[in-house]
Amino acid sequence: MLKVLLVDDEPNVRQGVKMMIPWVEIGCEVIGEADDGDDGLTKIMTLSPDIVVADIKMPGKSGIEMTQAAKAMGFKGKVIILSGYSDFAYAKDAIALGVENFILKPVDEDELTEAIRAAGEKIVREQEKKVRQDIGKEYLGEQLIKGVFFGNESSVAQFEERYREPGFIACIAAAVRSDPDEKAEIYRLVKAFYEGDGQVHIISIDISGVLGILFRSKEKTDVMESLTRLYKALEGKLFLTMGDYVAPVSEIRRSFATAEYLYRNRFIYEGEPVVTSADINRRGDTETGYASKLCAFMEINDTDKVGLTLDEFAASLRVMGNTSEKARVACITLVLDVRAGLVRTIADKKPETLISDGFISGLEDVESLRDMTAVIKEKLVSVSNECFAKTTKSNMERVVQYIRQNYNQELRLEMLAQIFDYNSAYLGKVFRQYTGENFNNYLDNIRITEAKRLLSEEDYKVYEVAEMVGYSNINYFHNKFKKSVGISPLSFKKQHGHDE
């Protein structure tokens, strides 16, 4: 509804106008009345009416003087003057001020209704025209910024000519797991958040709801603080990435490319209020063996280290050049490797029932690396507690248990010391006190005992048994076996009714 203000020093005239005009029918409503020109000017500036219907001759300011003062103060509405005088000079002054209509008293109902209707229609047309102009101007502005983001030479030149300022930072804002309607709402909220800040440009990058934000002449710390406030204001519904701080306009492309890279790989980086190039591991982490570490810590039921190892693994994926797809595959592969590693240590349960194919396939639906590592941690801790918690009492019992479960792997005292947080020399001393043997002899005895069982009960070749109990060198196994048992492995095998 368009707002109308009535200004006349005669209450009966104001009441008559209120009663005779079908306001709702013509899309208007009376929002106020004034009884002289001074009061009318005050209410024009406070109530901001769309249309003013005013008498020309009133105490204080006349209708013409009131209109003149209001226009000078920025009033953009339409004015319809009522007058009992037919003097052309008044009409001439009214026309010069842009008064919409000049109607003689006594007022004709139809004439005034039509004048108000016509003024309202004109206001609507002007508003629509302004909206179209604003949309066109906004579109051209967005195209210019988009061209700068993607390094268009013409756009860069135009932007450089328009904004001769130092320092630019390109950013990306995108809705997190939102439907199309919510993405549109977030776009509106982001624009509203920066409304009035002429140094911030917000554009739509594509139809998926990704927004590009360009900050001009702002310190990087100020931009970070601003984006953090935006993230909190929208209650974490945004994924925000920030490019590098650049100086020449031509370098904005590089800043945007960094922000875009982080956005494209949001699976890896999502979780922080604002992700920046500082979150990328430039050198990368070439360390491998995370699966064997996790198996080791699960077997000794050190669930804290399971979590820390997964954190290290996730950090190793935040490396320049990595992609979301590769990171997903790495996570799923890690779980498969852990499951395979547990086969040799869980005797009474099948690892595939503890870490099922359904669980592994479900990882494909997890939407961020942070969430995926949390899901994996929960599962591995659960398996560790179910399978190993009851068998670990003292530290030395945990060490001995680990050796008995992994005797067929490459085991060294230094490796055990690292797993159990011991100095290797100290561990060797405490281990001897606990078992009565040094580490190497203890390990050899376990391996030879198992080799004797395999040679006597199964029809394996000697070199196969050597590998199965952890000896990669057949000659070394032969010497160890003969020293312990008194005869060679082959002779022992024949004694128990098996030929080579």
Encode 336-349: b = buried (16+ Cβ within 10 Å), e = exposed. Answer: ebbbebbeebbeee
Q: Which class for 119: exposed (0-12), middle (13-18), buried (19 or more C-beta within 10 A)?
A: buried
Residue 421's pLDDT is: 78
- Distant-in-sequence, close-in-space partners of 13: CB < 8 Å, separation ≥ 6: 55, 82, 105, 107
Q: What is the predicted pLDDT for the residue at 392?
A: 45
Structure tokens at 130: 């302004």
Q: Where are the domains of the chain?
A: 2-125, 150-275, 290-391, 395-495
For residue 454, what are its two tokens?
Answer: 């395999």
Q: What is the pLDDT at residue 184?
A: 78
Q: Name the CATH architecture for the domain at 2-125.
A: 3-Layer(aba) Sandwich (3.40)
**pLDDT tens, position by position, for the chain (500 residues)?**
899 999 999 999 899 999 999 999 999 999 999 999 999 999 999 999 999 999 988 888 888 899 999 998 999 899 998 887 665 566 666 666 778 888 888 888 999 999 999 999 999 888 887 767 655 566 667 888 889 999 899 999 988 888 877 889 999 998 876 666 777 788 889 989 999 898 999 988 876 778 999 999 889 999 999 999 999 998 888 899 999 999 899 999 999 999 999 999 989 988 888 999 888 876 555 457 899 889 888 877 888 889 999 999 998 898 878 889 999 999 999 999 999 888 766 655 666 678 888 999 999 989 899 999 999 999 999 998 888 775 545 677 878 888 888 888 888 888 888 888 778 887 888 788 788 889 999 999 999 999 998 888 878 888 989 999 998 898 999 998 999 989 998 888 888 776 66
Q: Torsion angle of alpha carbons 159, 164, 168, 170, nearest 10°? A: -10
Intra-chain end-to-end CA distance of the chain, in Å = 102
- Distance, in Å, from the CA atom of 480 to the CA atom of 474, rounded to the nearest integer, reads 10
Closest C-alpha to 300, from 184, 144, 416, 168: 416
Question: What single letter denotes the amino acid at residue 346?
Answer: I
pLDDT at 198: 87
Q: Are 435 and 496 in contact (CB under 8 A)?
A: no
Q: Which CATH superfamily does the domain covering 150-275 fall into?
A: Reverse transcriptase/Diguanylate cyclase domain (3.30.70.270)
CATH node for 395-495: 1.10.10.60
Question: What's the pLDDT at 257?
Answer: 93
The continuous run of DSSP H or E covering 214 comes out as: strand 211-216
Question: How many of the other CB atoms lie within 10 Å of CB of 70?
Answer: 23
The tokens of 80 are what? 């319809």
Please tell me the predicted confidence (pLDDT) of residue 136: 56
Q: Model pTM?
A: 0.57
Residue written as tokens 């941690």?
377
Whether residue 81 contacts residue 63, with contact meaning beta carbons closer than 8 Å, is answered with yes
